Amino acid sequence: MHLPACEPEPLQGFDDLYQLGRDDAGEYGWGTLLGEYRRSRDGWLAENVSLTGLLPIARNGGSDTLFLDLNPATHGKLHAFIHAIPHLGYLGSHVFTKVADDFDAYLDGLFVDPDMAEDSWADVADSDPSDPLRRTVEEWLDKELPGWRAEAWATP
Protein backbone atom coordinates (compact mmCIF):
# COMPACT_ATOMS: atom_id res chain seq x y z
CA MET A 1 0.00 0.00 0.00
CA HIS A 2 1.31 3.46 -0.86
CA LEU A 3 0.97 5.86 2.11
CA PRO A 4 2.20 9.37 1.23
CA ALA A 5 2.26 10.38 4.93
CA CYS A 6 5.05 7.85 5.44
CA GLU A 7 7.65 9.42 3.13
CA PRO A 8 10.49 8.52 2.70
CA GLU A 9 9.02 5.03 3.24
CA PRO A 10 5.66 5.32 1.48
CA LEU A 11 5.31 1.59 0.75
CA GLN A 12 3.82 -0.16 3.76
CA GLY A 13 2.29 -3.59 4.12
CA PHE A 14 0.45 -5.46 6.83
CA ASP A 15 0.92 -9.17 6.29
CA ASP A 16 0.11 -10.55 9.73
CA LEU A 17 -3.68 -10.55 10.16
CA TYR A 18 -4.88 -11.12 13.72
CA GLN A 19 -6.87 -14.29 14.27
CA LEU A 20 -10.36 -14.63 15.64
CA GLY A 21 -10.72 -16.46 18.92
CA ARG A 22 -8.00 -17.79 21.15
CA ASP A 23 -4.42 -18.68 20.33
CA ASP A 24 -2.85 -22.16 20.46
CA ALA A 25 -2.47 -21.83 24.24
CA GLY A 26 -6.21 -21.18 24.59
CA GLU A 27 -5.70 -17.51 25.46
CA TYR A 28 -6.42 -14.16 23.89
CA GLY A 29 -2.71 -13.53 23.41
CA TRP A 30 -0.53 -11.77 20.87
CA GLY A 31 -1.92 -12.06 17.37
CA THR A 32 -5.57 -12.50 18.40
CA LEU A 33 -8.09 -9.74 17.77
CA LEU A 34 -9.20 -9.51 21.38
CA GLY A 35 -5.68 -9.80 22.76
CA GLU A 36 -4.36 -7.08 20.45
CA TYR A 37 -7.35 -4.87 21.21
CA ARG A 38 -6.72 -5.16 24.94
CA ARG A 39 -2.98 -4.50 24.57
CA SER A 40 -3.54 -1.50 22.30
CA ARG A 41 -5.31 0.32 25.15
CA ASP A 42 -2.19 0.39 27.30
CA GLY A 43 1.12 2.05 26.65
CA TRP A 44 2.55 4.79 24.52
CA LEU A 45 0.24 4.59 21.51
CA ALA A 46 -2.97 4.87 23.55
CA GLU A 47 -1.46 7.81 25.43
CA ASN A 48 -0.66 9.68 22.20
CA VAL A 49 -3.39 8.66 19.74
CA SER A 50 -7.12 8.37 20.35
CA LEU A 51 -7.91 4.70 19.74
CA THR A 52 -11.60 5.03 20.60
CA GLY A 53 -13.54 2.79 18.23
CA LEU A 54 -10.42 1.48 16.49
CA LEU A 55 -9.89 -2.27 16.27
CA PRO A 56 -6.34 -3.45 15.50
CA ILE A 57 -6.62 -6.07 12.75
CA ALA A 58 -3.09 -6.62 11.41
CA ARG A 59 0.57 -5.74 11.79
CA ASN A 60 3.82 -6.11 9.92
CA GLY A 61 7.29 -7.26 10.97
CA GLY A 62 8.09 -3.83 12.38
CA SER A 63 5.02 -3.95 14.66
CA ASP A 64 3.28 -1.22 12.67
CA THR A 65 -0.46 -1.69 13.16
CA LEU A 66 -3.49 -1.55 10.86
CA PHE A 67 -6.77 -0.50 12.50
CA LEU A 68 -10.39 -0.87 11.39
CA ASP A 69 -12.52 2.12 12.40
CA LEU A 70 -15.77 1.09 14.12
CA ASN A 71 -16.90 4.61 15.05
CA PRO A 72 -20.40 5.38 13.69
CA ALA A 73 -19.35 8.55 11.81
CA THR A 74 -16.27 7.00 10.19
CA HIS A 75 -17.22 3.31 10.20
CA GLY A 76 -15.15 1.11 7.92
CA LYS A 77 -12.15 3.37 7.37
CA LEU A 78 -8.71 1.88 7.84
CA HIS A 79 -5.92 3.67 9.69
CA ALA A 80 -2.32 2.75 10.42
CA PHE A 81 0.26 3.53 13.02
CA ILE A 82 3.78 3.39 11.58
CA HIS A 83 6.81 3.48 13.89
CA ALA A 84 9.70 5.83 13.25
CA ILE A 85 13.11 4.34 12.53
CA PRO A 86 15.89 6.64 13.73
CA HIS A 87 18.18 6.19 10.73
CA LEU A 88 18.80 8.35 7.68
CA GLY A 89 16.45 7.50 4.81
CA TYR A 90 13.74 6.05 7.06
CA LEU A 91 10.61 7.51 8.60
CA GLY A 92 11.84 10.11 11.10
CA SER A 93 8.79 10.32 13.35
CA HIS A 94 5.84 8.10 14.18
CA VAL A 95 2.87 8.46 11.84
CA PHE A 96 -0.81 7.77 12.41
CA THR A 97 -2.61 8.05 9.08
CA LYS A 98 -5.74 7.11 7.21
CA VAL A 99 -5.03 4.20 4.88
CA ALA A 100 -8.33 3.78 3.03
CA ASP A 101 -12.00 4.79 3.15
CA ASP A 102 -13.10 1.16 3.44
CA PHE A 103 -11.79 -2.38 3.17
CA ASP A 104 -12.59 -2.64 -0.55
CA ALA A 105 -10.55 0.52 -1.22
CA TYR A 106 -7.74 -0.95 0.88
CA LEU A 107 -7.73 -4.14 -1.18
CA ASP A 108 -7.89 -2.13 -4.42
CA GLY A 109 -4.84 -0.14 -3.26
CA LEU A 110 -2.67 -3.21 -2.74
CA PHE A 111 -0.02 -3.98 -5.33
CA VAL A 112 3.11 -6.05 -5.72
CA ASP A 113 6.24 -4.04 -5.12
CA PRO A 114 8.84 -5.06 -7.73
CA ASP A 115 11.58 -5.27 -5.09
CA MET A 116 9.41 -7.60 -3.03
CA ALA A 117 8.70 -9.69 -6.11
CA GLU A 118 12.43 -9.95 -6.81
CA ASP A 119 13.13 -11.00 -3.21
CA SER A 120 10.32 -13.57 -3.29
CA TRP A 121 11.65 -15.05 -6.51
CA ALA A 122 15.22 -15.12 -5.18
CA ASP A 123 14.00 -17.23 -2.25
CA VAL A 124 12.74 -19.99 -4.58
CA ALA A 125 14.62 -19.57 -7.87
CA ASP A 126 17.20 -22.25 -7.10
CA SER A 127 14.67 -24.81 -5.92
CA ASP A 128 13.36 -27.65 -8.08
CA PRO A 129 10.72 -26.46 -10.59
CA SER A 130 8.27 -28.97 -9.09
CA ASP A 131 8.67 -27.53 -5.56
CA PRO A 132 5.21 -26.44 -4.35
CA LEU A 133 6.47 -23.15 -2.90
CA ARG A 134 8.25 -22.26 -6.13
CA ARG A 135 5.11 -23.06 -8.12
CA THR A 136 3.05 -20.90 -5.76
CA VAL A 137 5.44 -17.95 -6.15
CA GLU A 138 5.39 -18.39 -9.94
CA GLU A 139 1.58 -18.44 -10.01
CA TRP A 140 1.41 -15.38 -7.76
CA LEU A 141 3.89 -13.44 -9.91
CA ASP A 142 2.19 -14.54 -13.15
CA LYS A 143 -1.12 -13.22 -11.83
CA GLU A 144 -0.01 -10.07 -10.02
CA LEU A 145 3.04 -8.96 -12.01
CA PRO A 146 2.58 -10.03 -15.63
CA GLY A 147 5.83 -9.90 -17.57
CA TRP A 148 7.97 -10.59 -14.49
CA ARG A 149 9.74 -13.44 -16.32
CA ALA A 150 11.32 -10.89 -18.67
CA GLU A 151 12.95 -9.01 -15.77
CA ALA A 152 16.74 -9.34 -15.43
CA TRP A 153 16.35 -10.78 -11.92
CA ALA A 154 14.04 -13.54 -13.19
CA THR A 155 16.36 -14.96 -15.82
CA PRO A 156 19.17 -17.40 -15.02
C-beta neighbour count of 24 within 10 angstroms: 8
**Gap between the Cα atoms of 124 and 136, Å rounded:** 10
pLDDT band at 43 (very low <50, low <70, confident <90, very high): confident
Altogether, the residues listed in the chain come to a count of 156
* Sign of the torsion angle spanned by Cα atoms 148, 149, 151, 156: positive
The confidence score (pLDDT) of residue 82 equals 95
**Gap between the Cα atoms of 56 and 33, Å rounded:** 7
Q: Is the pLDDT of residue 119 over 90?
A: yes
Q: Is the pLDDT of residue 156 over 80?
A: no
**Gap between the Cα atoms of 122 and 90, Å rounded:** 24
The confidence score (pLDDT) of residue 152 equals 93
The model's pTM is 0.82
- Residues in CB range of 61: below 8 A, 6 or more apart: 15, 16
Contact 45, 13 (CB under 8 A): no
**Gap between the Cα atoms of 14 and 66, Å rounded:** 7
Per the DSSP assignment, residues forming a β-bridge with 7 are none
Residues 14-36: pLDDT tens digits? 999 999 999 999 999 999 999 99
CA angle in degrees (0–180, nearest 5) for 39-34-12: 70
The confidence score (pLDDT) of residue 27 equals 96
